[in-house]
A and B are shown apart, each in its own frame.
Chain A
Amino acid sequence: MAEATALPPRFQQWFASRGWAPRSHQLAMLEKGRQGRDALLIAPTGGGKTLAGFLPSLLELAERPPRNTPAGVHTLYISPLKALAVDIERNLATPIREMGLSIVAESRTGDTGEARKQRQRLRPPDILLTTPEQLALFCAWEGARTYFADLSCVIIDEAHALWPSKRGDLLSLGLARLQLFAPRMRRVGLSATVDDPDLVRRWLGRNLLDPPPSAEVSRSDGGGSGALVEPSPSGPSGHLPQRGRIHDHTVDLVLGSGGAQPIVEVLVSDGRVPWAGHTAEHAMAEIYQIIKGAKTALVFVNTRFQAEFAFQELWKLNDDGLAIALHHGSLAAEQRRKVEAAMARGEIRAVVCTSTLDMGIDWGDVDLVIQLAAPKGASRMVQRIGRANHRLDEPSRAILAPANRFEYLECRAAADAILGGHLDGEPARIGTLDTLAQHVMGCACSEPFALTDLYDEVRTSGPYADLSWEDFETVVDFVSTGGYALRTYDKFRRIVPGQDGLWRARNAQAVLAHRMNVGAIVSPAMINVRIGGGKRPIGGRKVGEAEEGFFEQMKPGDTFIFAGQVWRFNSLVGADAFVTPAPDKDPMLPSWGGSKFPLSTYLAGRVRAMMHDEAEWPALPPDVQEWLGYQKVRSIIPERDEMLLETFPHGKRFHLVCYPFEGRLAHTTLAMLLTRRLDRLGVGPLGFVANDYAVNIWALKPMDALDLDDLFAQDMLGDDLEAWLAESFLMKRAFKACALISGLIERRHPGQEKSGRQVTFSTDLIYDVLRRHQPDHLLLRCARADAATGSLDVARLGEMLARVQRRIRHAALDRVSPIAVPIMLEIGRERAPGDAAGEMILAEAEEDLIAEAMA
């Protein structure tokens, strides 16, 4: 361990004055800073991680000699949350003030006032705290090169939350740009525990290119970053360098000490686990008692609706009047800030929250984390548990409360995974091309670029290391002309090559439009929930925001829970939903009970193993054991590597239920594709439901005699998928996101703000036309790739189909099996409206009309 004397006296005294000793990872980060090395610090929350990241910069800034000319930004700090950047600004002020350092640290986010932004541009602070979106804006500045010439360090906070996303792609491209402006810049990543640190290191680091393969690729600056950094000693030496790369890692890894092992329990309330359900309603009374026994508890749920439900239930039981609050992304920002402030003051006993509190600001004395319903992934659970007890030497306490029997298995698997240190693996990140298109436009707004230089620059970014020249050219052509085979837009180019061969933005209008649309966060169209009633509502107080789809299911007069209260829905006008309080009414329960997170592959594997391996059963609660025991008698418990498929009649219909355990998204895709096949086979499929564990399809005719290997043949992912995808609303949604990020559609246009609702309509039209006339267009490729990994989980489905080939165990039953009960109970819950469904709705409306006429 390094000596505390590595610190100058002023810093030593400050640590001592707080009763602290510098932690070993803080000193290790200091050493990396002195050596000029990139470094990723992985440490649990509460270990002084942020200070470790800033310490080298504080030291350097404290020791720098006075200068005649004003210095540029020394350290750029980037956080995924605006609020976190502001919070860190406040936290940094303490050591700076107490040590009497002359260092200016300021935040800059979308909420920062114009005057402050102007001043920051003229007189850069030493430490600038900001978000990835602001960095994308910096990259599009004229004069960005000069502004960041003195940059010596970039700190990426919560790197685990950023890297596997389009925001992460954009940020990585931004880092490549900054590195060009400031070749000596160090990269520092701060991250909570991750399963595979190498993936984060590859994302964070600079990818070093080989000498140019041909004379036409030239390096204009002569220096590059290549000569300055040696291969990381801790990098995997076994990896063969790929063509065009020397090695993957420039980033050293620093691991914080693990801290105390968390205490994780799975709650079996009242000795029982329900058959089905998503709300853990049965456990509420016990959870209330547990909250009473804790100082401050965070109660995590997976969806906003579950949050509303749990909040209601807990207040019904709240005879002691405990301060129990609610926090989720749909609440008005002001309301959320209030809850956060009360938390910080220690005035709150429990907060029911969604992923909005997964990361970020330190919330006072949380000593217990409760997860209601299954966590869906071990990594997310570790992160949530880390919210409790921000002191390393004391164990964090967490209670998982499963809502049904499958969830019990999942919670057990998650608890085991956390104790065993097994986290959900993620695939390596491959940079998305719609995000690259936005970056290319940003670069053109900042300064003219040469194609080959920008290509080299982009490939120094980890996610884009393997970007082909062809794809790069396609992206540049897309940015310039839209990339259409019909070359009618060559005269309207957004970026144009000059006589010097350099590309630049066509005019000031193109630059302005880009700056107004920077970012890779695409959220669904949101409706403002306002208090107001009657036919001509007058805009009342805004209660919060909800996704557009939420109100489409409602009729005026329906009641629902939102922001912890019961409301009556009155009308939807433009982007406003008008509601009035209805405290005496029973709320209509939200129809959507599932989780928005798909079950992680790792947990799914563990759940499968627990179910299929009888040796694991004795550790389970009696009713779960009994359930599986009945399953063994009445149906089949398959081998570990098999997939169970059951067929049975129920009522007038015949059911096919299979249990792949691949998550709701992959299952929904599977069900759609199976339904198409069953339709062709003539069994008359009528409908399906999918949850995280199983798929249930019902039909007019029995399905016992089908060739199952044939039914699950992998070619399902070929033509069937293509045909289905083409019409899928999921594809349209993916396309819309790509169209917005790539700049094809502008969210905001100079002089007018386009609402999400308007965008929805026009991108669907564009999608339909483009699909028919240029199916290989860049944005359709992007949308397909996104749908495959994201909303459709086709990648996972493909792996599953390969896994179960000739390993399907079929049980032809005369009635429903024990483990099929939960998915049978989900029938009638949620179905996506397809084209046929749309026709049915219109036909119903017509029948209504006829009935009206005849009455």
Chain B
Amino acid sequence: MNESVCGVTSLAFQIGDCGGLRLEIAGTRAVLRHSGALWLEAERTMVVADLHFEKGSSYAARFGQMLPPYDTRETLDRLERELAALSPATLVFLGDSFHDGAGEDRLPGEDRARIAALAVGRQLVWAVGNHDEDGPRTLPGDVVDEAAIAGLTFRHEPLPGAQPGEVAGHLHPAAKVTSGRATIRRRCFVTDGARLVLPAFGAFTGGLNILDQAFAPLFGGPALAAALGPRRVHAVGWKSLRPD
């Protein structure tokens, strides 16, 4: 497939056969999958961020707003497809796995069983986030503040300033691109080759435009956005991005 060098950041990337984008994050080889998952093949480790399980029921419980209660199973459907494709030995959740602390208690039985089954034959690592500060209480896996794997540091909320090797979520990055007559807005990865922010994986999670101020402290200069398409990831340069 095509291989290219991103001029602004001296970042080499390549679109792989599965539509994923291959590149190095602080020297570690990684694949950005079009599902929104990060894949570290050498470590057989898959990473997903911001699942926000039970976001739908959270609105019902807190505001009486009856959003469809199917977001958890929708997210699980996609997660299980990725697991089947990659068979990781380790699955890392980058925090905000549940939309609120009580989300775990509201899980329908069937969905709870499916989450528990994710741990069969693999290690689950739950990094905690601001929505789920205590992590899951009754589901299998390790609950951690942050994890270090393959020279990378995995935490929910990115720290300001240069953080080489940091892989985080929290911000729900989205890229908006305009061409001629139409505009599209997609979830995306964003990286400068030293650090990486993952898109939100959850079915009901919106996106924050990566031109928003919140991203400014993370990247010294223009970074690369990897926008999620139905079949592949598209690398998008900073100049093509539009604000909301």
| A interface with B by C-beta (< 8 Å) | 478, 481-484, 486, 488-489, 492-494, 506-507, 509-510, 513, 552-553, 555, 571-574, 591, 744-746, 749, 757-758, 761-762, 765-766, 768-770, 772-774, 777, 830-831, 833, 835, 837-846, 848-850, 852-853, 855
**A842-B177 contact given A482-B66, A762-B206, A853-B7, CB 8 Å threshold:** yes
Q: What are 18 pairs between A and B in contact, CB < 8 Å?
A: A482-B68, A484-B68, A484-B70, A486-B108, A488-B69, A492-B61, A493-B64, A769-B70, A769-B71, A773-B70, A833-B182, A833-B183, A835-B230, A839-B230, A842-B184, A842-B229, A845-B236, A853-B5
Q: How far is the CA of A509 from the CA of B64 in the complex (A)?
A: 8
Which residues of the other chain, B, contact A762 by a CB distance below 8 angstroms? Answer: 204, 206
A831 to chain B, nearest CB (A): 7
B244 A757 Cβ-Cβ under 8 A? yes
B46 interface residue per 8 A CB criterion: no
Taking a contact as CB atoms closer than 8 A, the residue among B65, B70, B178, B229 that contacts A745 in the complex is: B65
Give the CA-CA distance A481 to B56 in the complex, in Å: 12
A766 and B68 in contact (CB under 8 A), knowing A488-B106, A845-B179, A850-B2?
yes
Inter-chain CA distance A553–B68, complex, in Å, is 33
Question: Chain B 5-39 against A: per-residue CB contact (8 Å), 1 yes, 0 no?
Answer: 11110000000000000000000000000000000
Contacts known (A745-B65, A766-B67, A842-B229); A572 close to B60, Cβ less than 8 A? no
B180-209 interface (Cβ within 8 A of A): 180-186, 203-207
In the complex, the chain B residue whose C-beta lies closest to that of A510 is: B64
Contact string against A for B residues 154-185, beta-carbon threshold 8 Å, 1 for contact and 0 otherwise: 00000000000000000000000111111111
Residue contact B60 to A489, C-beta cutoff 8 Å? yes
Q: How far is the CB of B14 from chain A (nearest CB, A)?
A: 12
Q: What residue in chain B is nearest A478 (Cβ atoms)?
A: B66
Other-chain contact of A844, B69, B106, B179, B205 (Cβ < 8 Å): B179
- Pairwise interchain contact A506-B64, C-beta atoms closer than 8 A: yes
How far does the Cβ of A828 sit from chain B's closest Cβ, in whole Å? 10
Q: How far is the CA of A486 from the CA of B74 in the complex (A)?
A: 13
Contact A850 B4, CB 8 Å, known A769-B203, A842-B184: yes
**Contacting pair A769 B204 (CB below 8 A):** yes
Known: A765-B205, A766-B67. 9 other contacts (CB 8 A): A513-B65, A553-B183, A833-B184, A841-B184, A845-B234, A846-B234, A849-B235, A849-B240, A853-B6
Closest to A481 in B: B66
A841 vs B234: C-alpha distance when bound (angstroms) = 10
C-alpha spacing A523/B135, complex, angstroms: 41
- B9 (CB) vs chain A CBs: closest residue: A853
Cβ of B237 within 8 Å of any chain A Cβ, yes or no, is yes
**How far does the alpha carbon of A352 sit from the alpha carbon of B230 in the complex, in Å?**
46
A161 to B69, CA, bound (A): 38
**Whole-angstrom distance between the alpha carbons of A843 and B169 in the complex?**
25
Instruction: Give the distance to chain A from B102, nearest Cβ to Cβ, in Å.
Output: 12
A616–B146 Cα distance when bound, in Å, is 81
Judged by a CB distance under 8 angstroms, whether B137 is at the interface is no
Q: Is B182 a contact of A838 with CB atoms below 8 Å?
A: yes
Q: Are A489 and B184 in contact (CB under 8 A)?
A: no
Task: Rank and list the top 9 A-B pairs by shortest CB-CB distance, nearest first.
Answer: A482-B66, A833-B182, A849-B237, A773-B70, A842-B234, A845-B240, A552-B183, A853-B7, A841-B179
Are the C-beta atoms of A769 and B68 separated by less than 8 Å?
yes
Assembly CA distance A850 to B108 (angstroms)? 47
Question: Closest chain A residue to B110 by CB distance?
Answer: A486
> B121 at the A/B interface (Cβ < 8 Å)?
no
B239 touches A852 (CB 8 A): yes
> Is B243's CB within 8 Å of the partner chain A?
yes
Residues on the B chain within 8 Å of A842, using CB: 177, 184, 186, 227, 229, 234, 236
Cβ-defined contact, A761 with B68, below 8 A: no
B99 on the A face (CB < 8 A): no
* CA A830 to CA B180, docked complex, whole Å: 11
- Give the CA-CA distance A289 to B7 in the complex, in Å: 60
A553 neighbours in B (Cβ, 8 Å): 178, 180-183
Which of A478, A765, A848 sits near B240, CB closer than 8 Å? A848
Complex alpha-carbon distance, A552 and B243, angstroms = 10
A361 to chain B, nearest CB (A): 38
Give the residue of A574, A774, A848, A850 whose beta carbon is less than 8 angstroms from that of B239.
Answer: A848
Q: How far is it, in angstroms, between the C-alpha of A481 and the C-alpha of B57 when the chains are bound?
A: 11
- Chain A residues contacting B184 (CB-CB under 8 Å) are 833, 838, 841-842
Contact B74 A773 (CB under 8 A): yes
- Min CB gap A325→B, angstroms: 31
Cα A824 to Cα B181 in complex, Å, equals 19
Distance in angstroms between the alpha carbons of A830 and B181 in the assembled complex: 8
Bound CA–CA A552/B57 (angstroms): 34
Contacts of B236 in A (CB 8 A): 842, 845-846, 849
A572-B244, A744-B67, A769-B74 given as contacts; is B60 within 8 A of A552 (CB)? no
- Whether the Cβ atoms of B60 and A492 lie closer than 8 Å is yes
Q: CB within 8 A of B108: which of A488, A509, A768?
A: A488
Chain A residues, CB < 8 A from B186? 838, 842
Q: B106-134: which have CB < 8 Å to A?
A: 106, 108
Bound-state CA distance A761–B67 (Å) is 14
- Bound Cα distance from A486 to B61, whole angstroms: 15
| Bound: A602/B210 CA distance, A | 51
Highest count of chain A CB atoms <10 Å: which of B108, B181, B236: B181
The distance in angstroms between the C-alpha atoms of A831 and B181, with both chains bound, is 8
CB of A552 within 8 A of CB of B203, answer: no
Instruction: Quote the shortest CB–CB distance from B64 to chain A (angstroms).
Output: 5
Of B4, B57, B65, B182, which contacts A853 at CB under 8 A? B4
Establish whether residues B243 and A571, one from each chain, have CB atoms under 8 Å apart when the complex forms.
yes
Interface string of B210-243 (1 = CB under 8 A from A): 0000000000000000010111001111011011
The residue on B at minimum CB distance from A745 is B65
Q: Within 8 Å CB of B63, what residues of A?
A: 509, 513, 746, 749
> What residues of chain A lie closer than 8 Å to B5, measured between beta carbons?
853
Interface centre among B68, B74, B207 (most CB of A within 10 A): B68
In the complex, chain A residues whose CB is within 8 Å of the CB of B70:
484, 486, 769-770, 772-774
Query: Which residue of chain B has the shortest Cβ distance to A509 in the bound complex?
Result: B64
A553, A769, A774: most-surrounded residue (chain B CB, <10 A) = A769
Give A486's nearest chain B residue, CB to CB.
Answer: B69
Q: Which residue on B lies nearest to A767, using beta carbons?
A: B68
Residue in B65, B177, B204, B205 whose beta carbon sits within 8 Å of that of A746 in the complex? B65
User: Please, which residues of chain A bring their CB within 8 A of the CB of B183?
Assistant: 552-553, 833
Query: Which B residues touch A591, using CB under 8 A?
Result: 181
| A106→B5 CA distance, assembly (Å) | 70
Q: Chain B residues with Cβ under 8 A from A478's Cβ?
A: 66
* Chain B residues, CB < 8 A from A574: 244
Interchain CA distance A842-B229 in the complex, whole Å:
8
Residue of A571, A744, A841 with highest tally of chain B CB at under 10 A: A841
* Chain B residues whose CB sits within 8 angstroms of the CB of A493 once the complex forms: 64
Q: How far is the CA of A831 from the CA of B69 in the complex (A)?
A: 35
Q: Closest residue of chain A to B238, judged by CB?
A: A849
Query: Beta-carbon contacts of B137-151 to A below 8 Å, as 1s and 0s?
Result: 000000000000000
Q: Check A849 against B4 for contact (C-beta < 8 Å).
A: yes
Known: A757-B244, A853-B4. A484 touches B69 (CB 8 A): yes
Alpha-carbon distance between A478 and B60 when the two chains are bound, in angstroms = 13
A607 to chain B, nearest CB (A): 30
Which residues of chain B have C-beta atoms less than 8 A from A831's C-beta? 181-182
Within 8 Å CB of B181, what residues of A? Answer: 553, 591, 830-831, 833
CA distance A705 to B108 in the complex (A): 56
Residues of A close to B244: CB separation below 8 A: 572, 574, 757
How many angstroms from the CA of A840 to the CA of B232 in the assembled complex? 12
CA distance in complex: A506, B63 (Å): 11
Cα–Cα distance between A335 and B2 once the two chains are bound (Å): 55
Q: How far is the CA of A510 from the CA of B62 in the complex (A)?
A: 11
Q: How far is the CA of A50 from the CA of B73 in the complex (A)?
A: 57
- B 48-83 binary contact with A (CB < 8 Å = 1; else 0): 000000000100110111111111011000000000
Complex Cα distance, B244 from A769, in Å, reads: 24
What residues on A are CB-neighbors of B69 within 8 Å? 482, 484, 486, 488-489
Nearest CB of A to B56, in Å: 8
